[in-house]
Amino acid sequence: MNEYEGTPQSPDCGNGRPAGVDDRTVEALGALSKALETTERARGRLYDFHQLTGTADLQLDRAVRLLNEAGHPEWAKRVRSEILGRNVIPGHWTFQIVEAYNATYYRPFQQLEASAVQELARGRDHLYEAQMKEDRRTRGHPDHTARPPARKT
């Protein structure tokens, strides 16, 4: 038993490397996880695109009203008929793009990454980061603990 065992200084067993998992596997799973995290960011941008485009479309209602009030009904009609409610790509509103991305790319990627972690690392996620934390922290320093303090019941 080391001097820190059972304290916040002892390594976090929940993120510890299972026996038999080699360095290359940890590195490969870390790369796969990083790629999924990048996909999560891309997906967020897709939701930004979806919400911003929807907001712009709703703002057109005001533009149409103001054009009518300003005596430009022909421009109000053009905005209403040519842009308001228009597909952003042929046959698609942004929600359909989001749905297709989720079904075609995001969910399969997410499921594959989870399966790889389950099969190759016995379900232990973030092994690469956990190893990096262990390598970089200063043992005994109160702000470099291996894990959060135990919860008081």
Each domain of the chain, given as residue ranges in start order, spans: 22-136
What residues form DSSP beta bridges with 89?
A: 92
* Predicted confidence pLDDT, tens digits, the chain (153 residues): 344 444 444 555 566 788 899 999 999 999 999 999 999 999 999 999 999 999 999 999 999 999 999 999 999 999 999 999 999 999 999 999 999 999 999 999 999 999 999 999 999 989 988 888 888 999 889 888 888 888 887
Closest to 53 (Cα-Cα) out of 22, 11, 8, 85: 85
pTM of the entire predicted model: 0.79
Q: What angle do CA 50, 73, 54 make, to 5 degrees?
A: 5
